[in-house]
Structure 1
Amino acid sequence: MTAPHIPALPTVDAHIYPRGGLDVLSRDEVARLRDVSTGMHDLLRRCALAVLTSGSTSDDPRAAQELYPHFDIQVSQQDRGMRIDLANAPAMAFVDGEIIRGVAELLFAVVRDLAYTTIELGADCGRDLSSSDGITDAVFGLLRNARLLHPADPNLVVCWGGHSISRDEYVYTKQVGYELGLRGLDICTGCGPGAMKGPMKGATIAHAKQRRHRTRYIGITEPGIIAAESPNPIVNHLVIMPDIEKRLEAFVRLGHGIIVFPGGVGTAEEILYLLGILLREENAQVPFPLIFTGPTAAAPYFEQIDKFLRLTLGEAATSRYEIVIADPEKVAKLMASGIRRVREYRIQHKDSFFFNWSLHIPLDFQRPFAPTHEAMATLDLRPGRKPHELAADLRRAFSGIVAGNVKEEGMRRIEAHGPFEIHGDPEMMRSLDGLLRAFVEQRRMKIAGEYRPCYRVVA
């Protein structure tokens, strides 16, 4: 049986000269970005292609590569600055032969972050990435290099939620974003479509009405995710963290409050990560507004999430979040009030407004987790453990499913060895299986094509 023919899409060859924020690179940085032997050039190519196809509705990380198999990018240092050469680039990123300015800025961000990571966080960087403080310092360095850390009053709301959501849910995220924008709040998301795009879109209208011109729509991603969740066109500050753990830490260090919209396993992973941190005794007094919200139709979704959290993490977890259904104005008012408390706390404890140093994140939440079949099968999912310890392993379980769903390396593992197996306490596994089945039935796992589970829950 022959493979289906994929028609060639229009492409463009171009030379791009960065303006501001990324004017020069060292010879060493350029050499490393061009190095084929280390895989860095392929990583640059994949991330750049994701940016150049911003707005794509596919969540298959291999789709863009199949549509643009001859795309290439080269970075070169010249006497008067830097040049990016694009060959066979998607024409959708250009207008009348000129690259769209917003797309160009995101492309520069890709080069900037990969260059910084390969030098500053590489094997010979001299940083201590085996300690909690060292990892937090690395996260700080990446965000500072991306020029995201500015002394200003707290106003950044992180919005989590799925890329595969219903139309009603998407409209609701825009309504919440609009109410946040009217109150002068900026938006940070995972930068993709769905619940990551909606709040930004709503906030743009509100910011325009309030005549706010210096607005931030921050997208935080990582190399394994960006190809499956291309940045949406509203993102005006993009940062690529080296792995999912540093991405999650960037969200909670940078944001002043978090809103969770309906989503799938990625959203569940984020919830468990944050609650696992907030439930630690060291963080008991740290204010961190956390709101779960969606339209009326999403009420059963949050009831199921709430039930799962009570079973696994205990009743104490419920004190750290509030569920609000079908009331965007109330969500925005609660968030604005919560951020005022954050401001007062930071002043009182002499903590910065732009980076949450006071939040204690244990090393167990910071170590990168490689979701192999062996690692997934040996996760310790049973009652009786401390809530934050159980949350760490539950987070890894969901992280592995995300990898099997949308990350190229994870997809290859599933194709080679079959589904991951997740073992644990029978009652906990029944609850987990029910939650995952609901995600599949509600089509929260994928946008494109029928979903084939990459996991098997074993009681």
Structure 2
Amino acid sequence: MMTKKGIDARVTPKGSMDILSRHEVSLLRNKKNRHLQETFRRCALAVLNSGSISDDGESLLKAYKNFAIQVIQQPRGIKLDIKSAPENAFVDGDMIQGINNHLFSVVRDIIYTENVLIKNNNLNLKYSEHITNFIFHLLRNANLLKTNCETDIVVCWGGHSIGRTEYDYTKEVGYQLGLRALNICTGCGPGAMKGPMKGAAVGHAKQRHALGRYIGVTEPGIIAAESPNPIVNELTILPDIEKRLEAFVRLGHAIIVFPGGVGTAEEILYILGVLLHPKNRDMPFPLVFSGPASSKDYFEMIDAFIGKTLGKEAQSRYKIIIDDPVAVAKYVKTHLEEVKAYRRKRRDAFYYNWLLKIDPIFQQPFEPTHELMASLDLSKDQEPHCLAANLRRAFSGIVAGNVKAKGVQQIKEKGPFEIKGDEHILGPMDTLLRAFVEQGRMKLPGSQYEPCYTIVK
């Protein structure tokens, strides 16, 4: 692949994160912090590549292998010295304002995570309560927690690799949500993460709702494969996928799931596992699966998989609405009133769901290796929420093998992950994964998919 020359620039932050201490700057300049510097570089390059339809982070790094970014401390604040940046981040030599904001969100989150929280002696990330507080601090520092908010944040999950019909449907649902002054939170990438934001922006404009929020929640391992879409106006980067998922459910008030692939299945298993915990049984949390008429078979397949693995109780926690964006928006809007009443009665915050019980198995980072993937407990001899957690880890490993740099490298070196377990679990899982491959839901159109996993029955 030809190396792209790119653009050199010196950028001043606008709006936030315009000052850093000398110690904070030194973190990104100290040669001993190579991992931190590389994380910063990868995230910054992904943000500068905003709007890209590629899901190949390694190709992006190769195309801009000369890309470099450095923080410069000045008496009046900071600047970023950038070399060989993607051309589409600039207009007439000036960086696009939204990309500028996202770039300094990267600085803010990388620095704050490393300097303030991980080295904070009062937070021990081995404990569940401390992890929840860790996420709270990150979201508060990113100014995502609004004390004057309503229960109006709708999290939208779905695939980055979806067809035009499904994408247009996500826009229509977003439009109906926007007409009802509801805000959107997604994984910030393309496809089903972009569509609802785009639709909601039109709905907000029609209602003259000037304070529309389009929140993007991502993590370093995935951002290069899912660069922030241009509509995101509030971006935050969590340290890992588990904290990203917890941020979604602590911050959001309802969830809509659109068609997707393995990453979407991982998200579904996460929220069902959380809601299946006995302490969350009575908590209202609107969860809708929806898509156009052409996606009916897809959701029937997802529903069947959940029924065969997690059972009827899991199926009772969501509603499937096909080809009816108005019905989706009305259902969410109505049930958000229940969320508001529940939190008000129990004096829980509207801006952060403190009462939601999340089992530690959903919080501890899972770094997939061949050994860990092969040793996952995929049997029915456990509580449903624990089975959901282990299934989520299996799907998370496949996501890593598909798009994350470390996972892709492991597959290149050692071959596909082996997934083992009970036939009653692996059978439905194998059927679902095969369907994802056949329907082109593993990679963006035009990409040849080579499975990074093997089902060992």
User: How high is the TM-score relative to the length of structure 1?
Assistant: 0.97
Give yes or no for the alignment of 1:56 onto 2:52: yes
CA distance in 2, matches of 1:124, 1:211: 43
Unaligned 5+ residue runs, structure 1? none
CA distance in 2, matches of 1:427, 1:285: 29
Cα distance per residue 1:203-245 (max 9 Å; x no partner)? 1111000001111100000000000000000000000000000
Give yes or no for the alignment of 1:400 onto 2:397: yes
Cα distance, 1:439 vs structure 2: 0.3
CA distance in 2, matches of 1:125, 1:335: 41
* 3-state DSSP of counterpart to 1:320: coil
Checking the alignment, whether the CA contact within 8 Å between 1:15 and 1:84 is kept in structure 2 is yes
What is the 5 A alignment of 1:33-432?
A: 33-38=28-33, 39-123=35-119, 125-151=121-147, 152-432=149-429
CA distance in 1, matches of 2:432, 2:32: 42
Unaligned 5+ residue runs, structure 2? none
Q: 1:313 to 1:280 in 2, by over 3 A?
A: same
Residue type of the alignment partner of 1:329? V
Cα distance per residue 1:67-89 (max 9 Å; x no partner)? 11111100122111111111111
Cα distance, 1:124 vs structure 2: 5.8
Cα distance per residue 1:434-458 (max 9 Å; x no partner)? 1000000000000152000000011
CA RMSD, aligned part only?
A: 1.0
CA distance in 1, matches of 2:28, 2:10: 17
- 4+ runs deviating over 3 angstroms: 123-126
Cα distance, 1:291 vs structure 2: 0.1
Cα distance per residue 1:34-92 (max 9 Å; x no partner)? 23433111111110000001011111111211111111100122111111111111111
* 3-state DSSP of counterpart to 2:201: helix
Moved more, 59-68 or 224-233: 59-68
Residue type of the alignment partner of 1:9? K
CA distance in 2, matches of 1:160, 1:125: 35
The number of aligned residues is 454
Identical pairs, percent = 58
What's 2:8 paired with?
A: 13
User: How high is the TM-score relative to the length of structure 2?
Assistant: 0.98
Checking the alignment, whether the CA contact within 8 Å between 2:273 and 2:388 is kept in structure 1 is yes
Q: 1:367 to 1:30 in 2, by over 3 A?
A: same
CA distance in 2, matches of 1:123, 1:412: 29
CA distance in 2, matches of 1:411, 1:35: 28
Cα distance, 1:250 vs structure 2: 0.1
Residue type of the alignment partner of 1:348? K
Cα distance per residue 1:133-163 (max 9 Å; x no partner)? 0000000000000000002111100000000
CA distance in 1, matches of 2:172, 2:166: 10
CA distance in 1, matches of 2:203, 2:234: 19
Checking the alignment, whether the CA contact within 8 Å between 1:119 and 1:125 is kept in structure 2 is no
CA distance in 1, matches of 2:86, 2:225: 16
Cα distance per residue 1:323-378 (max 9 Å; x no partner)? 00000000000000111111111111100010000101111110000100000000
Cα distance, 1:120 vs structure 2: 2.2
Checking the alignment, whether the CA contact within 8 Å between 1:11 and 1:90 is kept in structure 2 is yes
Checking the alignment, whether the CA contact within 8 Å between 1:36 and 1:42 is kept in structure 2 is no
* 3-state DSSP of counterpart to 2:106: helix
Cα distance, 1:123 vs structure 2: 4.7
CA distance in 2, matches of 1:390, 1:428: 10
Of 438, 442, 447 in structure 2, the residue corresponding to residue 449 of structure 1 is 447
Cα distance, 1:125 vs structure 2: 4.7
* 3-state DSSP of counterpart to 2:172: helix
Cα distance per residue 1:264-291 (max 9 Å; x no partner)? 0100001111110101110011110000
Give yes or no for the alignment of 1:25 onto 2:23: no
